Amino acid sequence: MFDAVLIEKGDQGSRASLTTLEEDRLPPGDVTLRVAWSTLNYKDALAITGKGPVVRSFPMVPGIDLAGIVEQSDNPGYKPGDKVVLNGWGVGETHWGGLAGKARLKGDWLVPLQSPFTLRQAMAIGTAGYTAMLCVMALERHGVTPDAGEVLVTGAAGGVGSVAVALLAKLGYRVVAMTGRREEADYLTTLGAGEVIDRGDYTQPGKPLARERWAGAVDVVGGQVLANICAAMRYRGTVAACGLAGGMALPATVAPFILRGVTLAGIDSVMCPRAERLEAWRRLASDLDPGKLDALTREVPLADVIPTTDLLMAGQVRGRIIVPVNPDAG
């Protein structure tokens, strides 16, 4: 028996509740884990509240992240006692996820816990931090170096943004943090932002080409904000786009791309190939200051996950939310 957040479909739509499940209800997989820590992400909030078409089959345990200890394994890559991490692969959407005491998964979806991180720290990073690292790697691949100019991070007080600011600052970039919450300026400065700007300045339609400013950008907002960022990129600058908090539409022109050689690099963390995942986690271990994790992390017990989703949907959550499921497990 184990506790879990379970989303079920009824005549009036989906409904999430905290319940107790038998282990024999776990879905198929070749590795069974005791979940030590999970997280609460924006996508999880969409699933739990039913405000987005995230869940593809019911009933569903949400939670796109988990860190835990292997209990049983038919996969040659893992044995009981191994500490592992999972991000994405449709977990919490098509396959039961991490907001439960146990999980049964495909071993090919797992990565070993990267030293020096603890399981708790791995979830303080989670999909948000791993996505931020993928964004940084994309900027590097396209030649955005610390001496190329300023790098903008949108949604900077959120999960992806917070880790992106910390990573880029540690790597020597001049980071400008964009947020709709000016009260978070001190927090963002602590993470390494050299300047904090107001998202409101980028939410209205702008010129096809604006004054060149950004050498690179990490964008989680999309929509009009992304269009305006593209218009203000420096020659041959790169935007790593990984979110749509501001909408799926992109009301932009081709001008930045054909006149300034701007690159718009899409970042997908869900189905990202294993080799790139491993590299992202290796880089996180070397390039992210573990001391910054406490400042951007808040713990919410499993019993409080469902009510907390409303705060997350309203944009009232700073940084990362981690969930201690079986914290004594590791």
In the DSSP assignment, the letter for residue 180 is S
Residue 16 CA, distance from chain mean position: 22
Instruction: Determine the pLDDT at residue 11.
Output: 81
Q: Name the residue type at position 98.
A: G
- Residue 272 tokens read as 């990202």
Residues 258, 74: Cα–Cα separation, whole Å: 52
Task: Decide if 69 contacts 79 (C-beta within 8 A).
Answer: no
Q: Which domains does the chain have, with CATH numbers?
A: 2-113+300-329 (3.90.180.10), 127-266 (3.40.50.720)
Q: H or E stretch including 216?
A: strand 214-219
Instruction: Determine the pLDDT at residue 94.
Output: 96
| CB burial readout 256-284, b (16+ within 10 A) else e | beeebebbbbebebeebeeeebeebbebb
A 10 A CB-CB count for 143 gives: 13
Segments in the chain below pLDDT 70: 330
Residue 78 CA, distance from chain mean position: 25
Instruction: Determine the pLDDT at residue 330.
Output: 65
Residues 168, 184: Cα–Cα separation, whole Å: 18
Which residues, in sequence order, are CB contacts of 180 under 8 Å at separation 6+? 198, 199, 200, 315
φ, ψ dihedrals at 143, nearest 5°: 85, 15
According to DSSP, the β-strands at 214-219 and 31-40 are unpaired
Residues 287, 111: Cα–Cα separation, whole Å: 18
| Burial category of 176 from C-beta neighbours within 10 Å (exposed 0-12, middle 13-18, buried 19 and up) | buried
Q: Helix (H, G, I), strand (E, B), or coil: what is residue 103?
A: strand
Q: Name the residue type at position 65.
A: D
pTM above 0.85, yes or no: yes
Q: Helix (H, G, I), strand (E, B), or coil: what is residue 266?
A: strand
Residue 132 CA, distance from chain mean position: 7
Instruction: Determine the pLDDT at residue 166.
Output: 95
DSSP H helices, 41-198, are 42-49, 119-141, 159-170, 185-191
